[in-house]
Structure 1
Amino acid sequence: MAQSMITVAPMLVCAFWMAMLALDVKEHGDRAAHRALLLWAAAATLLYMGHCVFFNRDTLLLPLFDTLYVVCNLAVFPLYLRYLVRLTEGRVSRSTNLLVAVPPVAFGVVVGALYLLMTPLETAHFIEAYLYRNSFDSLAGLVWWMAVVHHAGKVLFAVGVVVTLWVGTRKVRRYNRLVDSLYADTDNRRLRGVTTILVLMVATCIVSFTANAIGRHYFAGRLWLLAIPFVMFSMLLFALGYCGYRQQFSFEDVELGTDGPEAAPEAESMGQWLAQVRGVMSDEQLYLLPDLKVDDVARRLGTNRRYVQQAMNEELGMTFSEYVNRLRVDYAERVLQQEPGITVEELGQRAGYATKSTFYRNFARFKGYRPKAAER
């Protein structure tokens, strides 16, 4: 009973997010790449269904679910990477789709064919000798080839884990840098909890890599050992699903706009461009406008947004978001000194912030303390 509850937990977590994402896609369409995340959740559900069959020793169903397990085990990390690509780049190339789909399907076809070709005695011998004892001893013919294919799948899985972690973290960071360069207010545009997502990705990859290296056979019959990875996977999968489900903004929603007019002849250096940006921001206090965009500043200067971004990056080493929020916080600090009785809500609104929490976070980030004098 306890083993059944432990082994079914990750599957139920994945099934829950699969249902939630399916309802969300039905109601809102493919916002924030939720359809790609739904595909990942479906594969993860089938993967842990295969685990349930394996650890509960249902040998009659094992050939079918072991085949599904091989497919989904090789697909689950690439599918999550595909989701990140869809989320951060807006489209998934045909070559990426092929790289995600072909290896799992090919391995699944081979494993399924070998199960069909093996006799019942050979199947039983493979299950007992290799799946539950991880032994190549006494394996021969089709049984030996089946074990080789499973071993190759473990190696390919490890490669998929490393590639997903490396490529996924790079794409998440690049997307957030893009958002920071275009918008002053990024809370609802950045990947929510980017640090959390990256930490979860690392943790999931480490646990998966370790469990794959040890092998499922090692946990069979050891309830307390089995509980450790399954509880960890349940929590990690729930967190990954939660972060993805809450995300409502993606690359497709980014307002890239057009490049606009070329730079004016008199602006010959980035330093001059920065001086112009500082002038218009200071004179007109554009930084106090809610939801300010770099295009707004570029249009005010009659220039190309790339020059505004480049001036900030090269001369100040800041993104547009950081530059504007520093100005807002400086302004809020001055107001706070002049009007110590002002409320936090009013102070944040006057500084250009839509929410109290965003104001608090940015004030603490750039000033190193919270505006306690204004708490009322």
Structure 2
Amino acid sequence: MVIMEESRRERLTCLAVCAGAGGLALGLEQAGFDPVLLLDNRPVACETLRLNRPGWNVLETDLLDFDPEEHREVYDVDLLAAGLPRVKASAAVRREDSDEELRLIEATVMLMHGVQPRALLVENLAELAVKPAYEPIRSEIEAELAHLGYRHRWFVVNAMEHGVPQDRKQGVLVALKGDAVHDFVPPVPDVGPPLTVGEALGPSMAAKGWPHAAAWAAQADRVAPTLVGGSWNRGGPDLGMSGSKRSWARMRVNGGTVANDVPGPEDSWDPAPDGTDMVKLTVEQTARLQGFPDDWSFAGTKTFRYRQVGHATPPPVGRALGLAIRAALGHPAPALPSGW
């Protein structure tokens, strides 16, 4: 009986497309899925993946150009996972606004023909999963999945309900072969209040002797707004649009830029609600707000490093989704190696 239980805890396999900085792949690794191949079309993202996991098989290519016939190791994997670029909010009304993003969704679903995974996981805009305006897009996806013999579930997860100090909603599509979808249960939210920004970043703010760290952390008593990576083609790093910047300002954080280092003994801070002297976050601190472990490194310049962080799927969300898919496939949660 023990031997049978251990065999069911075996490591499973996955193909990760549009892998980015590896947030989804890292979470799935923690849930017991080892990637046979990861692909992304950005050199800096591929560099990040190789930097952190030298043993991963990373392919720098566009999803639209990927031919599974040339990579037979991806055939019959347990999971095809895609952390795809977000469909624009206007796409349901004007599809041309998100032509590229929609083509990537279509390419992912068509990839099912050549890969034949046991399960599919697609993460995208929350509205794509639930809003009536996106029904035509969902119907096209669902029709192709049904043709291939997969049944599906659409739902929304919020990262703040899975150990991430950030109000970040994500639309999720899970599809499984045959009737296995009846055994799929979306991740259950954590019990208790979510982690706050102050709790997550307080120790790092104090790391270089900043005398205001404890006071700042005490008033940063809420979750962060959604981190936004922004355009790869223009602008520098900032924490989001105007509404997000106002939310950050209420926590006395300057959301208009990203710092090179945490504050030190000589740095000032104005706790007044209308004060202009606010603290700035580093790329490493934003990564912590995404749930990345402290030892996960990001390649590139500060702007490119932050872009990768902002566009990533939080690893704890990836882990929760991976565990839910494992359970539907008949595998209990794996034992985590020490250090995870």
TM bucket by the smaller chain?
Answer: under 0.3
Greater CA radius of gyration, 1 or 2? 1
Which structure carries more relative contact order (alpha carbon 8 Å, separation 6+)? Answer: 2
TM-score of the aligned structures, taking structure 1 as reference length? 0.22
Relative to total residues, which structure has the larger strand share, 1 or 2?
Answer: 2
Relative to total residues, which structure has the larger helix share, 1 or 2?
Answer: 1
